[in-house]
């Protein structure tokens, strides 16, 4: 028997975005996200409990401000001391892994999904392909930055506000621009 569309999605193969199982899982995640967003900052402890239930795994001290958006939640893995500011989006078709002590500024977008180059396959958004995104420890992503599918950032990386990160970078750098490039090496 062949792989399910969910298995294809998670393993980075071309998959049917409108598969019934995946549509249902996105719907369930949206309900959880709406509950998190409805709390806002009024009950940080309850909000953290809901985030921990939504995400694939978390460390301690996880804070996600409204209005947060994601596709599934279960493909997001964050370690301890994680903070996502207002209006962050994580399209978690493939795993998004974020290390310890990481900060996401407002309106940061992390995409682990892409669509095929063949126009027949991408019509109506029907086919997708996942590429994991990994952020190391002590990463700070400035407001409005976009992290594209397949990107890995090492430890102690700072992404300048408004940057578009289209390729991977190693440890101890500041990257900025569109496309992002190294603008400074850190000690």
Domains of the chain by residue range: 5-185
Give dist(CA 142, CA 41) in Å, integer.
21
Q: What is the 3-state secondary structure (H, E, C) of 10-21?
A: HCCCCEECCCHH
- Is the predicted pLDDT of residue 171 greater than 90, yes or no? yes
Write out pLDDT tens, residues 138-164. 999 999 999 999 999 999 999 999 999
pLDDT bin (cut points 50, 70, 90) of residue 122 is confident
Q: Between vectors from CA 175 to CA 99 and to CA 61, what angle results, nearest 5°?
A: 25
pLDDT bin (cut points 50, 70, 90) of residue 124 is confident
**pLDDT of the residue at 160:** 98
- Is the predicted pLDDT of residue 57 greater than 80, yes or no? yes
- Is the predicted pLDDT of residue 88 greater than 90, yes or no? yes
**pLDDT of the residue at 38:** 95
Mean of pLDDT values over 16-38? 96
**pLDDT of the residue at 123:** 77
Mean of pLDDT values over 33-47? 92
Give dist(CA 3, CA 6) in Å, integer.
8
> Please, which residues have CB within 8 angstroms of residue 20's CB and are 6 or more apart in sequence?
none
Name the nearest CA neighbour of 58 among 83, 25, 89. Answer: 83
CB 115 within 8 A of CB 128: yes
Phi-psi group of 131: left, alpha or beta (phi > 0 → left; psi -120 to 50 → alpha; rest → beta): beta
CB burial readout 130-153, b (16+ within 10 A) else e: bbbbbbbbbbbbbbbbbbbbbbbb
> In CATH terms, is domain 5-185 a member of 2.160.10.10?
yes
CB 149 within 8 A of CB 94: yes
**pLDDT of the residue at 6:** 94
pTM equals 0.95
Mean of pLDDT values over 27-47? 93
The whole-chain average pLDDT of the chain stands at: 95
pLDDT bin (cut points 50, 70, 90) of residue 14 is very high
- Give how far Cα 33 sits from Cα of 5, 19, 73, 153, Å: 23, 21, 9, 26
pLDDT bin (cut points 50, 70, 90) of residue 187 is confident
> Please, which residues have CB within 8 angstroms of residue 88's CB and are 6 or more apart in sequence?
64, 65, 68, 69, 104, 106, 107, 108, 109, 110
Give dist(CA 119, CA 71) in Å, integer.
23
Known catalytic residues are 115
């Amino acid at each position: 028997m062949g792989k399910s569309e969910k298995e294809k999605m998670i393993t980075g193969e071309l998959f049917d975005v409108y598969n019934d199982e995946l549509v249902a899982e996105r719907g369930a995640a949206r309900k959880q996200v709406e509950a998190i967003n409805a709390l806002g900052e009024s009950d940080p402890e309850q909000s953290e409990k809901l985030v921990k239930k939504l995400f694939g795994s978390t460390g301690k001290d996880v804070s996600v401000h409204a209005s947060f958006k994601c596709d599934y939640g279960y493909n997001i893995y964050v370690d301890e001391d994680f903070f996502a500011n207002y209006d962050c989006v994580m399209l978690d078709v493939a795993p998004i892994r974020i290390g310890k002590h990481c900060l996401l500024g407002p309106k940061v977008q992390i995409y682990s999904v892409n669509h095929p180059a063949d126009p027949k396959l991408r019509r109506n958004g029907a086919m997708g392909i996942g590429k994991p995104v990994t952020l190391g420890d002590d990463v700070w992503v400035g407001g409005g930055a976009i992290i594209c599918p397949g990107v890995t950032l090492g430890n102690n990386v700072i992404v300048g506000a408004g940057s578009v990160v289209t390729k991977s970078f190693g440890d101890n750098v500041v990257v900025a621009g569109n496309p992002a490039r190294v603008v400074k090496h850190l000690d």
